[in-house]
Amino acid sequence: MKELQTDVVVIGAGTAGLSAYRNAKQFTQNVLMIESGPYGTTCARVGCMPSKLLIAAAEAAHSIEMAPAFGVHSSKPTIDGKAVMARVKSERDRFAGFVVEAVDELPDDDKIRGYAQFLDANRVQIDDHTIITAKRFVIATGSRPSYPGVFNNFGDKLVINDDVFDWDDLPKSVAVFGPGVIGLEIGQALSRLGVNVKLFGVGGAIGPLTDPVVRDYANTVFAQEFFVDTDSNVSDMMQVGDKAQLTYTDKQGEKHTEQFDYVLAATGRVPNVDKLGLENTGIKLDERGVPIADARTMQCGDSNIFIAGDASNMIPLLHEASDQGTIA
């Protein structure tokens, strides 16, 4: 087992982690960055950037559809799903490549591959090969999609947003669960690209909207384009052959059983903090096991452990992650 000592350890090489690393290097050269997965931020690989590429294609198709309202007439657009996804993946890879290049330029001695787990508040172990003692730690491990266990009944027809951006072609039909930002963006984009989309939610929530008048209006507007039920009753979720099947009750109380090529779970994300051994550090955790941190300093209590980005469960946005990394 190799043993190292350093001033700062940054766990995670995403947006928050890279920001924390670069800022720490302004004050000390003794900074180590640990990463277990592929380099490239959530935003560039599976988040906002490929989402916007898909949305851009959908906007192009939608503009042609809406053109007659402006006195501009053309034939109905033909959607080439393979070409759409080829562009999404190509540009996505280019964006992620910029991040990978930036990481490649960092000193090799500063980068350690593997999973980090706290032994105590001053030491982490990386897999079975390295123990690092440090004066400060920054947890920047990001987040991952989360969905109810019953969704596993759909088998390999269940996908998360990460999977969408690896499709080679557009499917014919998708059931989307979760009318939050991710579900709305991808659901509307797929619908505008000719995919039969049905969007289901619970409790009536839509996006981040809280004003009841605005929320109801948003429901109406989205439902003009594709099926949206933000307070749905769905049952009999299963995989039948190569399709996902479910039964839902419409607003008139009638039951419908329908099959889809895929079910997209966009039901939220959870911070990647559950396997870090935080119970060994003595820091306070909330009911979800996430460290309680001061948003002004990103410090966890009065400890030498800081947290930044999606792992903090505060504001899961790219620029916020970068700012939190800087603050930490």
Q: Does residue 228 form part of some domain? A: yes
CATH of the domain at 213: 3.50.50.60
Radius of gyration, alpha carbons of the chain: 22
pLDDT in tens, 157-186: 999 988 999 999 999 999 999 999 999 999
On the 0-12 / 13-18 / 19+ scale of CB atoms within 10 A, 102 is middle
Residue 182: helix, strand or coil by DSSP? helix
Q: Domain end: 214, 233, 265, which one? A: 265
Q: pLDDT by residue (tens digit) across 187-237? A: 999 999 999 999 999 989 999 999 999 999 999 999 999 999 999 999 999
The pLDDT tens digits for 235-281 are 999 999 999 999 999 888 889 999 999 999 999 889 999 999 999 99
Looking at the fold, whether 153 and 278 belong to one and the same domain comes out as no
245, 265, 285 — which closes off a domain?
Answer: 265
Domain assignment present for residue 303? The answer is yes
Out of 265, 283, 311, a domain closes at: 265
Taking only the tens place, the pLDDT of each residue in 198-208 is: 999 998 999 99
Q: Do residues 135 and 196 both lie within one domain?
A: no
* pLDDT reported for residue 44: 67
In angstroms, the CA 244 to CA 236 distance is: 10
Predicted structure pTM score = 0.88
Say if residues 20 and 326 touch (Cβ distance below 8 Å).
yes
Domain that holds residue 168: 149-265
Torsion, Cα 133 297 320 34, to 10 degrees, reads 0
Q: What's the first-to-final CA gap in the chain, in angstroms?
A: 29
- Same domain for 254 and 131: no
- Say what the pLDDT of residue 47 is: 75
Same domain flag for 227 and 287: no
CA distance 317 to 294: 18
* Cα angle for residues 39, 322, 14 (degrees, 5° grid): 15
Chain position carrying tokens 């989205």: 222
Residue percentage of the chain with pLDDT more than 70: 98
Q: Are residues 233 and 167 in the same domain?
A: yes
